Amino acid sequence: MDETYRAYQAGASIVHLHARDPKTGKSVANNVLFKEYYDKIREKCDIIVNITTGGGREVPLEKLDDVIHERIKLKPDMDSLNMGSVNVWFTPINDDVFINSTARVERWAKWMLEEGVKPELEIYDTGMINIAATMIERGAIKEPAHYQFVMIGKTGISPTVKNLAYLAEEIPKNATWSVCAIGRYEMPMAAVAIPMGGHVRVGFEDNIYLSRGVLAKSNAELVGKVVRLAKELGRDIATPEEARKILNIPPRR
Ligand code: ZN
């Protein structure tokens, strides 16, 4: 939790949380751990907590809904919500698919709605914006919505200026958005999003380098870099309290 606190001190207003087993270091579908980490963060600071529903799926598919429902019931400020399925890129290539059927997306969106958790709509490709629009129409997602453009390349949308401009154009006018690009595109896409009025996500899930060939020492170091960029470009850094207003998230419970 020290890592979250350091990132908060560096200027982060939201933490996106996965859980790793402290012994093995492996990502786990352990909601007890998620709760423990969540509570510890809460003790330390008022940062907005966004818990993953994309990671921590290490359970048989038939048990996945129950595990995620229980996790949503922890009532963090936000949960990530992956807006569609995407092929998984491995070398050598394999048959893996990150499955997010429309029925599942809708079920999870409704649970988030019931628990008062703001979904972070993760968009890996342009068609997923259409799925989000349908979910809004069907009442599973409440507006104003918050979109995260996950520019993964390879099996999803490529991290280019043109694509980011297109994505920002395609979402509802009352929406907020953020970008996270993978690897060496993380900082360049953040630098493009800042003057566009978007928000940014940086951190070890997406990129571990501070600059070419230089490993970042911490998530906080990456946050520090993006804070400097924003300041140079004339954008203020939102406190968690201000970010709650921007994202329509009620004060912390
Ligand atoms: Zn994640």
Residue 195 pLDDT greater than 80, yes or no: yes
pTM of the model: 0.96
**Structural domain count, the chain:** 1
* Dist. CA 166 → ligand 1 center (Å): 23
* Dist. CA 132 → ligand 1 center (Å): 19
Whether residue 19 is contained in a domain is answered as: yes
Whether residue 253 is contained in a domain is answered as: no
* Dist. CA 55 → ligand 1 center (Å): 6
Helix (H), strand (E), coil (C) string for the chain: CHHHHHHHHHCCCEEEECCECCCCCCECCCHHHHHHHHHHHHHHCCCEEEECCCCCCCCCHHHHHHHHHHHHCCCCCEEEEECCCEECCCCCCCCCEECCCHHHHHHHHHHHHHHCCEEEEEECCCHHHHHHHHHHHCCCCCCCCEEEEEECCCCCCCCCHHHHHHHHHHCCCCCEEEEEECHHHHHHHHHHHHHHCCEECCCCCCCCEEECCEECCCHHHHHHHHHHHHHHCCCCCCCHHHHHHHHCCCCCC
Whether residue 252 is contained in a domain is answered as: no
Question: Residue 146 belongs to a domain with what CATH number?
Answer: 3.20.20.70
**Structural domain range at position 207:** 2-247
* Dist. CA 222 → ligand 1 center (Å): 16
Whether residue 197 is contained in a domain is answered as: yes
Predicted confidence (pLDDT) per residue in 85-128, tens digit: 999 988 899 999 999 999 999 999 999 999 999 999 999 999 99
Predicted confidence (pLDDT) per residue in 84-94, tens digit: 999 998 889 99
Whether residue 216 is contained in a domain is answered as: yes
* Dist. CA 84 → ligand 1 center (Å): 15
